[in-house]
Amino acid sequence: MYAMRNPLISLGICLERAFAECRNQGKRPDLIAISGDLCEDGDEEDYRALRTFIYEKAAGVPVAVTLGNHDSKQSFRAGWLGEEGTQPYNWTQTFGDTCFISLDNSVQGNPNGDFVAGQIEWLRATLAAAGERQTVLMTHHHMIPYQGPVLPVKCSGEFLELIRKSQISCILCGHTHHNFEGLLADKPCFTVDGMSFYGENLDNGAVRFREKFGYSLIVLDQGRVLERRIETFDTGRLLGEFFWK
Ligand SMILES: [Fe+2]
């Protein structure tokens, strides 16, 4: 889109505003979670440059990512992790009393996402290892069927039952660029705004893209979501209108 600005501008604005908001409350973020589609067909150097930008802004706060359908797993692994490989990026780490799990339900070039063999087993084992800790699950693709016009990733009954019976406090998603809140298998499930634009379906079948970006601040305590504050920047800038074939 010719009128789109460099997403690092909006990313910088969001990180600075989020840190300032926390500072004003005498707090410091425990974790920055990035909901995927870090780059559009980026190469190794793109991911390395983005990582440097984010880590400088993060100032020591841990950063968790999941990958989206626009991400290259190979370039991400090379530029972000400094390793080779093309396999899905499933990751977990414990921060204080919170277990954070990033489950990769993206396939590069497939806008609908998918789970691949072995992921449910990995998630089951990871949840078991977390024990009674409050736990956050992040995926790129949203999973709630009624969420909106963008198709969710298909979830098996086995996956939904695993979520339902788990200690998960909330689920974080991206992909749609639209803020949303709902329940997935009885768990609070939040989709965050995108970092660049959002699309509106017009009556004539075209999609209008406008500049909009934002972030969410989520406060957890003893396994429950105490607060979710949404900051959305809607500049009103029209980026373009397109017809999908
Ligand atoms: Fe996406």
pLDDT in tens, 181-206: 999 999 999 999 999 998 888 888 88
Place 22 in a pLDDT band, splitting at 50, 70 and 90. very high
What whole-number distance in Å separates Cα of residue 63 and Cα of residue 31? 6
How many other CB atoms sit within 10 Å of the CB of residue 83? Answer: 8
Q: How many angstroms separate the alpha carbon of residue 33 from the centre of ligand 1?
A: 15
Mean pLDDT for the stretch of residues 80-84 = 98
Identify the bridge partners of residue 198 per DSSP, sorted by sequence position: 210
Q: How many angstroms separate the alpha carbon of residue 245 from the centre of ligand 1?
A: 19
Q: Which residue has the tokens 């998918």?
A: 114
Q: How many angstroms separate the alpha carbon of residue 243 from the centre of ligand 1?
A: 19
Per-residue confidence (pLDDT) for residue 74, from 0 to 100: 97
What whole-number distance in Å separates Cα of residue 175 and Cα of residue 194? 7
Q: How many angstroms separate the alpha carbon of residue 79 from the centre of ligand 1?
A: 20
Place 108 in a pLDDT band, splitting at 50, 70 and 90. very high
Residue 1 has pLDDT above 80, yes or no: no
Sequence-separated (6 or more) residues with CB below 8 Å from residue 3? 237, 238, 239, 240
- Average pLDDT of the chain is 94
Per-residue confidence (pLDDT) for residue 92, from 0 to 100: 98
Per-residue confidence (pLDDT) for residue 139, from 0 to 100: 98
Q: How many angstroms separate the alpha carbon of residue 24 from the centre of ligand 1?
A: 32
CATH fold for the domain made of 7-243: Purple Acid Phosphatase; chain A, domain 2 (3.60.21)
Q: How many angstroms separate the alpha carbon of residue 139 from the centre of ligand 1?
A: 10
What whole-number distance in Å separates Cα of residue 39 and Cα of residue 140? 13
Identity of residue 223: G
Q: How many angstroms separate the alpha carbon of residue 21 from the centre of ligand 1?
A: 27
Q: How many angstroms separate the alpha carbon of residue 131 from the centre of ligand 1?
A: 31
Per-residue confidence (pLDDT) for residue 244, from 0 to 100: 64
Q: How many angstroms separate the alpha carbon of residue 145 from the centre of ligand 1?
A: 16
Place 245 in a pLDDT band, splitting at 50, 70 and 90. low
Q: How many angstroms separate the alpha carbon of residue 195 from the centre of ligand 1?
A: 11
Residue 232 has pLDDT above 70, yes or no: yes
Least confident window among 3-7, 42-46, 70-74, 241-245: 241-245
How many other CB atoms sit within 10 Å of the CB of residue 97? Answer: 13
pLDDT in tens, 139-177: 999 999 999 888 999 999 999 999 999 999 999 999 999
Residues 153 and 141 sit within 8 Å (Cβ to Cβ): yes
Domain ranges of the chain: 7-243
